[in-house]
Amino acid sequence: TVSVCNLRPESRGTVHIGAPDPQSAPKIRPNYLSTEGDRTVAVASLRHVRRLMKARAIARFAPEEMLPGAHYESDEDLVRKAGDIGTTIFHPVGTCKMGADSTAVVDRRLRVHGISGLRVVDASIMPTIVSGNTNSPVVM
């Protein structure tokens, strides 16, 4: 199985409180592929994998493209299909980002701005994703 993943996405989503009831689900808008840079990376990555699968050392095993499907060839089709099949890879970050700007939730000591005695201590405080698994930086 071959998969592609943008390790440095530019697109930014949002998470907002969905209702006054704390048990209600949040409103999550991932905004995948919302920048030209991310769309360019998606298309280039899919085309690169296709070239790799045609290399002599691999082609002899007759790999078959399941998704997005070999019949999708235009940049527009590949962007659309990347959006259809894309996921978070289960390493979302930045929903409670650290910083001093107006979009930051916590300070450098992980204290929530404006709320005494509350801290956030997980990967959500990372302003941007690291190029590997988020577990190691979190426990450090």
Residue type, 40: T
DSSP-based three-state secondary structure for 46: helix
CA distance 91 to 40: 21
Length reported for the chain: 140
Task: Please give the positions annotated as active site.
Answer: 91
CA distance 27 to 14: 8
CA distance 124 to 88: 13
Structural contact between residues 53 and 40, judged by C-beta atoms closer than 8 angstroms: no
Residue with tokens 């440095």: 8
